[in-house]
Chain A
């Protein structure tokens, strides 16, 4: 096993890419450390799958290099890279039994019978397929097929990394949780580097140690789930992570105070006197409804989601969401909000900026 480094990677599906818009993947520099579980999160069409296919060697990048450890594998075939990949739609060889499915990659590599048998038994036990080894793979449920697919990847003991391309899309909701938990425990037990592509933030945040957020072919932020939640590096990360996402208000800033349409908001840090397009961002969870203090709001609707209430409001012309505890009463005279100064992020041209300590 080895770490995987992506250097100045860019990819276009067009033969002669001209401008930036021709590239599905724009200038990516990333290092996947050995033995970690990563999630690659982003909306559909942001280049996640392209990035994954470049790592597994199914695609050759237009520009840039892929390194496994210190070795340049950019031009190496999929087989040489020893990568396992689990696809969105489960791929099993229908005519073979589960046992033959698992043995297939080893047989193709000309391993010995005894070794194959031992390996297949072991992997089947790990994934929980030992009871159905003799059955044909055809007609099995999607979750079993996906397990077989995963098993085919893990059966090789020299795999550098296991890549998952939205593997739970076709799985029933109640089985998703179970499979994800199993993946996590397999990761803990065997320490494969795992890269998990998804557009579902819950999947990403619960699976990975570190989440890579992508948007329009670029990597916006790499961080732990907590970092993404509290300190989104880019306004898109703030908007994409969390449900509902971060609220943004266009502001002007003077030191520790932001001004929204003439109303001042206290900030936790000193930002000096920045120019350019400024926005204040705050999570719906860190906003308090009050009667007289703070920014004036108009409540549009309130949704009760059991443990929480989602309050949809307007602050001047901007939509603004608030999450409050379910047992909190919301009265007609609550016409203002107060923002928690320590939880406010400031974005300069969509990128988060850090201020100096206020004292």
Chain B
């Protein structure tokens, strides 16, 4: 049978196109529109071209927020990934204890973001919070509302508490898929515990680890609710990450133009990093298939 080009097929994708258009493309285009204009209220807009972009790229505010954001994502990745692997390795392999562990691990993941923020806001308070009081009683000067370093430690601890179990659960799934024969063969080969981890467990977890890193990176890069509830971006701007800064600009100061330019650049950065991740993943998959 000869293939004929059937243009009517386009009608079949039309509903999806419409849906996507109304849910993301058109709203985003309004943001694009704002980013080239200035408004003084009263629904009056003036064309300013690339002015907002130029201004933002020159402003320290954006670069500082981006720096804090990158630092935050790096720190939590450096803690959560190894910690998650460690937890997964220590979890029982079967029986009721394994089920109990899985449920306990899943609990933090089920708590709404703003509740997580509230929990930690109270938990870490140095006057009445269980953790804050305890640390203060130990003789440490600790107050996340006034000291920038304390605020950072608290925000990082909160994220580790909230998300390490995701990494652990992913790794646990990866570990469970390793057949017993691997461990038995390693025993016969007299492999050390480190060798078993390095040559059996880690390679088998590779796939889930890539996913874990990607998920945790993207998610932490867009973090808003928990630090907003906990510190509100302070003290000063110490924990003002990109999205907190963006909301301040758009809703706090009602600078629609700069905020629109900001969000577009934010979007592009995330897109760029996702693309890099994606390419690296695909490349290493190909390498795996070829070798």
Contact = CB atoms under 8 A, between A and B. Distances in A.
Nearest to A90: B181
B4 interface: no
Interface stretch (A77-85, A113-121, A273-281): A77-85
A92 to B, nearest CB: 9
Contacts of B181: 87-89, 91
Contacts of B290: 139
Contact of B185 (A85, A136, A139): A85
B177 to A, nearest CB: 12
B187 interface: yes
B229 interface: no
Contacts of B190: 79, 105, 108-109
A353 B190 CA distance: 48
B291 A138 contact: yes
A56 to B, nearest CB: 7
Q: How large is the interface on A (under 10, 10 to 19, 20 to 34, 35 or more residues)?
A: 20 to 34
Nearest to B181: A87
Interface in A90-120: 91, 93-96, 104-105, 108-109
Interface string A34-77: 00000000000000000001001010000000000000000001
B203 interface: yes
B267 interface: no
A53 B181 CA distance: 11
Contacts of A95: 199, 202-203
A149 interface: yes
Contact of A108 (B184, B189, B204, B289): B189
Interface string A162-193: 00000000000000000000000000000000
A72 B195 CA distance: 29
B21 interface: no
Nearest to B189: A105
A78 B288 contact: no
Contacts of A58: 184, 187-188
A93 B201 CA distance: 10
A53 to B, nearest CB: 8
B250 interface: no
Contacts of A108: 189-192, 195
Contact of A91 (B182, B192, B202): B182
Contact of A96 (B182, B187, B199, B204): B199
A135 interface: yes
Nearest to A104: B189
B179 interface: yes
B200 interface: yes
Contacts of B289: 139
Contacts of B203: 93-95
Contacts of A153: 188
Contacts of B189: 104-105, 108, 152
B199 A93 contact: yes
A84 B184 CA distance: 11
A7 B48 CA distance: 93
B191 A104 contact: yes
A53 B183 CA distance: 13
B185 A87 contact: yes
B38 to A, nearest CB: 57
A139 B291 CA distance: 6
A87 B185 CA distance: 8
B179 A149 contact: no
Interface of B: 179, 181-182, 184-185, 187-192, 195, 199-200, 202-204, 288-291
Given A87-B185, A91-B179, A139-B290, 4 more contacts: A78-B184, A78-B187, A94-B199, A104-B189
9 contacts: A58-B184, A83-B188, A87-B185, A91-B185, A95-B203, A104-B191, A108-B192, A108-B195, A152-B185
**Nearest 4 CB-CB pairings of A with B:** A87-B181, A91-B185, A108-B190, A105-B189
